[in-house]
Amino acid sequence: MEILGQSALGTDIHYTLLGDTNLPKFVLLGGIHGDEPEGSKIVFDFIEFAKGKTEDFRACVIAVPSYNPDGLAKNERTNGNGVDLNRNFPSSDWNIEHRAPRYYPGPNPSSESETRGLVSLLNKLKPFLVIHCHTYIPQINYTGIESKVWAQILAKDFGHPVTEDIGYPTPGSLGQYCLHNLKAACVCIELPEEVAPDVAWRMVGPSILEIARSGP
């Protein structure tokens, strides 16, 4: 277990590398929104399942199960500073405007220590794909046409649609940062709200494993 940085309230943010670190890498991130704990649980379950079973992996998985520990601790969307971390990325479309307080993007891009820690890890490890896990209207949402192929793999057992448009703009989101700045594919898994862990695993666990075993 490694540390990518600290939360606004000073909690360490851990990540685990699964597979040979010389392989191409993808990120599996959960808990960016603290009131969506199911997205955190699926990443913990993936780490538990994959640990010690990575000999046939052709990608190294960077698993970040609790990206927003402050939010997860209080079951709120935002971090300890009241910032929506999925609007705080230094993407070229970052914008201070937001439709409600819980989408507050921060005073400026990368104002939050969580964002700075992840951005520096992304730029160091250069993943070909970032998958982040949430709950909402169930769907596999991708950013940019090059991400669609990964969304389709993840949707295989999912039972809900693949979408490109989530229905509203998301400036400063992880998806926009991957598209415009990192030039990596990005897919957002929106699990059903309050989904049971075993059901969530059947919906996406095997597909995430398939990506780890096939590589880019």
87 binds Zn ion (CB under 5 A): no
Q: How far is the CB of 86 from Zn ion (least distance, A)?
A: 6
Taking the C-alpha atoms of residue 33 and residue 68, their distance in angstroms, rounded to an integer, is: 7
33 binds Zn ion (CB under 5 A): yes
Taking the C-alpha atoms of residue 168 and residue 87, their distance in angstroms, rounded to an integer, is: 13
Q: How many CB atoms lie within 10 A of CB 175?
A: 24
- Looking at beta carbons only, is 13 or 18 nearer to Zn ion? 13
41 binds Zn ion (CB under 5 A): no
- Looking at beta carbons only, is 25 or 33 nearer to Zn ion? 33
Tell me the residue number closest to Zn ion, measured at CB: 134
Which secondary-structure segment (H or E) carries 44? helix 37-50
Task: For tokens 């079973």, name the residue.
Answer: 53
Q: How many CB atoms lie within 10 A of CB 62?
A: 24
- Looking at beta carbons only, is 113 or 135 nearer to Zn ion? 135
132 binds Zn ion (CB under 5 A): no
The two tokens of residue 212 are 């780890």
Q: How far is the CB of 134 from Zn ion (least distance, A)?
A: 3
List residues near Zn ion by CB under 5 A: 33, 36, 134
